[in-house]
Structure 1
């Protein structure tokens, strides 16, 4: 037997490892993030850049191409008209409509973005030529026709969810969200619900699934058949072929809950861990206040410039009365009557601002990316939830003790000022934000490192089928054990009913027999 010295063993190990990592380099990756909202793409941008930096050939379909070319990073730009939510959300007030009508609001948005990708000449060329990719990365948000492209490109399928998971995303990998303590994402509840809250959350979840299966999926299937030649007929099977889900959530910020092995929490993987220097004028403005600064933003979907004059007037009145400098994301070049302690800009490097030690408070709409960035840098918040998951994000933030919410549809100057001063002057909010931040950062690896690791793990192990639960092969009745429960309880019940019926019949026969006998005796 050939013997190996320690040196030759080390050299052999290095050769094996070198060939192992070389096998990962050059993976051909297609990423599709077609939404007009900048936040969805921000969520995945650092992740995609990191894959390119590790030697993978990354092609990205999005509305936000890179300003400067990057090595191994190829943009396929799509022109997608920005969705103007101000047509629906009037002055920070979501319309009073039913849950089903609210779900309908996203249909055009989802189908139009899907269509933009499928009709793109580059995508059609790939489909016609039979081009292949090693990996397809998609935003997991009801765009099932795009998931199905993985089958035609012979690619492994990885989903990225910018807001964690819900009952619809769970279905992609057969994850479990117990309805008893996992509230619907559009509810206003924590994981400790009373009976009526659980009932409402169940109602919302059922409507979500019905809407998804009977309105969204048929539209997605129609798009798939329209733009993909020789479409695979088993559309429902293809859409459940995810190898991995990367979820922008973490139990320190959200709630502790179960996950299947191929659903991975990566909250904060979009954040650069080395904050960049702020532009000189912003830096000077923040430092000019002895008490520090406040950052105010309503996110990328709601523009402050579209608020009513009354609301803008209230905001300016409150900000002018505060002994802090205010950075306000305001999308117009001018703000008549702007107080001297207010700095406006249509764009801010949000994470870098929150990293600044003199920024004391974030006034936010409560979007998940903003909430994660807040905790990443340990800052308290005043929340102004307006739509979708923002309400539940703020409910969780308040429950964890680092936030205070106000009703953005009806707030007053006195109420807003009181909330701001309460959070700034009561040390418990900043202390709790720092505590949650420590919990969030206490992880064995950085979120981006985790995302890269599991993505490459999927590539190394050819889709990692050993991580997929057997539930993906079960139908509805099998998955919920309806068939076995029916047998277990139904058969004995049927036997019991049959026995009682038989006894009843026998008793009637016996009673009739007695009656006949009694009549004969009386006659005699």
Structure 2
């Protein structure tokens, strides 16, 4: 009997291996908030028997994942960290300048990554892949799909920008569905609607502006005969967007756009470090958790803002746990605990937590919804302001502006959230909605990835919008024909009426002459 069981196990193992595909995953952005969204995807695909190779700045480094090979680009953080805060502050002074700074920085980092020895070796390899899954903010990397002649899935760690939806032939509208970094999304005033239209078009111009540089990088590292980056983007089999219908606005989606949001990066609870757990367990009045995420460093925020934050915290009857990236914090009140790193998901799960003060990054927003903690938002850049506005509109909390932070207002909002149960109750309601789904975001990502592998792409799902000229989509030719027809008909009618009036006038004149 044991022999039969072993034989069956071996047969099943070989069948499983035979079904495995070779998958290339590329997430080159040196930001852990981008990486954590897709790490569960790489892990699960490898556990399902697929041979997964990833190009990443944050390798998982799990020796039990024997099907996972990782090309480590962690060195990219050095360049990223040097300029990230400068671009964030520039974004608040002048969003266009800030975005251009990120675009130029991204191109420089991509150049550094592609000339790195590990990437040069990979570029020269003769590997074969059945699928590539590539982060959309680094479009140059899409050339790998062309190099390996395999279908690819474009993906983003937040909701898609308008240009990404357009690249999939998905309907867009600057008022109904403004870009994810535009901080207004419903019941917009005329000025806000005008701003959204301008913002969307400016973004399109900047994307077009960067396309030339991207094409030059493709030619430099991949070869002269590669199509343009824009052409490659339009050939994506699918687009994975990290959004969901609970936090994000409802919008029509073509079959090739798949929402994988809704806490897909959440992991199973783990015990807190012993010392931290003991401190939080003893906070009978509860505690506040304050973190600005992975890109905005608390140690680098303007000193005036930091002083206001400390003065506010010193007057609160609660302990504040602050993710602060330096060893020391001058003028720190006794009720403030600082730490360079904290296991955020497990901190949010602690029963004594009262409030999460957050910058509003999408991953943090997902966590607070699914775990059920009310917020005070303090957005800095990117999609953070829009995320915070959505959460405030949904009744999950309140917000403050870090550029105009005022102690009494900040304190009043903190106390309002903690002392008024409606905010926590509302978050619990949204958590129930977010979790009541037929599939998790991760399960959708896995299913659709294997779908593209099974069918060697998804050309049969391609949106017809990609195959018609822009003037046909806008009905300009139809409008022109209708206008011509209306104008011509009006002109003919005018000629007929004028001729009839002349005939009548002539007859009247003839009758008058006869009477005379």
Structure 1 and Structure 2 fold alike (TM over 0.5): yes
Q: 1:195 is matched with which residue?
A: 190
Cα drift, residue 447 of structure 1: 1.9
Matches within 5 A, 1:429-448: 429-448=423-442
| Cross-structure match for 1:12 | none
Query: What SS does the aligned partner of 1:106 have?
Result: helix
Deviation track 1:46-84 (CA, whole Å, cap 9, x = no partner) reads 111111111111111122223443321111112212243
Q: Could you tell me which of 135, 138, 145 is aligned with 2:140?
A: 145
Q: Determine the structure 2 residue equivalent to 1:316.
A: 310
* Partner residue in 2 for 1:119: 115
Residue 405 of structure 2 is matched in structure 1 by 411
Residue 5 of structure 2: aligned partner:
none
1:242 aligns with 2:236: yes
Which shifted more, 61-70 or 400-409?
61-70
* Higher mean C-alpha deviation, range 493-502 or range 258-267: 493-502
Q: Say if 1:180 and 1:87 are closer, same or farther in 2 by CA, change over 3 A.
A: closer
Contact 1:162–1:247 under 8 Å retained in 2 = yes
Counterpart of 1:85 in structure 2 is 84
Superimposed CA distance per residue, residues 321-354 of structure 1 (whole angstroms, 9 cap, x where no aligned partner): 2222211010101113322322211111111211
Q: Is the 8 A contact 2:292 2:298 kept in 1?
A: yes
SS in 2 for 1:289: coil
What pairs with 1:484-495 in structure 2 (closer than 5 Å)? 484-487=478-481, 489-495=482-488
**In 2: Cα distance, 1:447 partner to 1:266 partner:** 4
1:364 aligns with 2:358: yes
Counterparts in 2 of 1:283 and 1:128: CA distance versus 1, 3 Å: same
Give distance in 2, aligned partners of 1:17 and 1:192: 56
Aligned to 1:135: 131
Say whether 1:183 aligns with 2:178: yes
Distance 1:235 1:317 in 2: 50
Residue aligning to 2:102: 106
Contact residue 45 and residue 270 of structure 1 kept, 8 A: no
Structure 1 residue 499: deviation in Å? Answer: 2.5
- How far did 1:87 drift? 2.4
CA distance in 1, matches of 2:228, 2:105: 25
> 1:5 aligns to what?
none
Q: Is the 8 A contact 2:142 2:229 kept in 1?
A: no
8 Å Cα contact 2:290-2:320 kept in structure 1: yes
Q: 1:88/1:140 Cα in 2 relative to 1: closer, same or farther (>3 Å)?
A: closer
Q: Please give the residue correspondences for 1:59-70 in structure 2 after superposition, counting only pairs within 5 Å.
A: 59-69=53-63, 70=65
CA shift, 1:234, in A, is 5.3
3-state DSSP class of the match of 2:442? Answer: helix
Q: CA deviation at 1:439?
A: 0.5
Aligned to 1:8: none
> How far does the alpha carbon of each residue in 1:99-130 deviate from its partner, in whole angstroms, 9 at most, with x for none?
53343222212212332343344444444444
Separation of aligned partners in 2, 1:203 and 1:50: 41
1:134·1:156 contact (CA, 8 Å) conserved in 2?
yes
Residue 236 to residue 337, structure 1, CA distance change in 2 (3 Å): closer
Distance 1:154 1:433 in 2: 46
Which has a greater percent of helix?
A: 2
Secondary structure of 1:82's counterpart equals: helix
Alignment of 1:268-347 (within 5 A): 268-347=262-341
Q: Report what 1:9 is aligned to.
A: none
Count of residue pairs brought into register by the alignment: 499
Q: CA deviation at 1:448?
A: 1.4
TM-score normalised by the chain length of structure 2: 0.89
The answer for unaligned runs of 5 or more in structure 1 is 1-15
Q: Per-residue displacement from partner, 1:467-505 (whole Å, max 9, x unpaired)? A: 222222222223333333333x13313423652675599
Contact 1:367 1:389 in 2 (8 A): yes
SS in 2 for 1:278: coil
Match of 2:35 in 1: 41
The residue matched to 2:152 in structure 1 has which SS?
A: strand
Query: Are 2:136 and 2:156, in contact at CA under 8 Å, matched by a contact in 1?
Result: yes
Distance 1:160 1:307 in 2: 31
Does the residue aligned with 1:59 lie in a helix, a strand or coil?
strand
Q: Which stretch of structure 1 is more off in the superposition, 497-506 or 233-242? A: 497-506
* Ranges in structure 2 where 5+ consecutive residues have no aligned partner: 1-10
Give the Å deviation of 1:314.
Answer: 2.4
Check conservation: 1:127, 1:153, Cα contact below 8 A: no
Pair 1:260 & 2:285 matched: no
Given that residues 253 and 397 in structure 1 are in contact (C-alpha distance below 8 angstroms), is that contact kept between their aligned partners in structure 2? yes
Kept after mapping to 2: 8 A contact 1:317/1:413:
yes
| Greater alpha carbon shift after TM alignment, 359-368 vs 59-68 | 59-68
> Post-superposition shift, 1:454?
1.4
TM-score (norm 1): 0.87
Cα separation, 2, equivalents of 1:179 and 1:87: 29
| Structure 1 ranges of 4+ moved more than 4 A | 16-23, 500-511
Alpha carbons 1:148, 1:239 under 8 Å: kept: no
2:426 is paired with a residue of what secondary structure?
helix
Computed over aligned residues only, the root mean square deviation of the Cα atoms, in angstroms, reads: 2.9
CA contact (8 A) 2:261 2:441 kept: yes
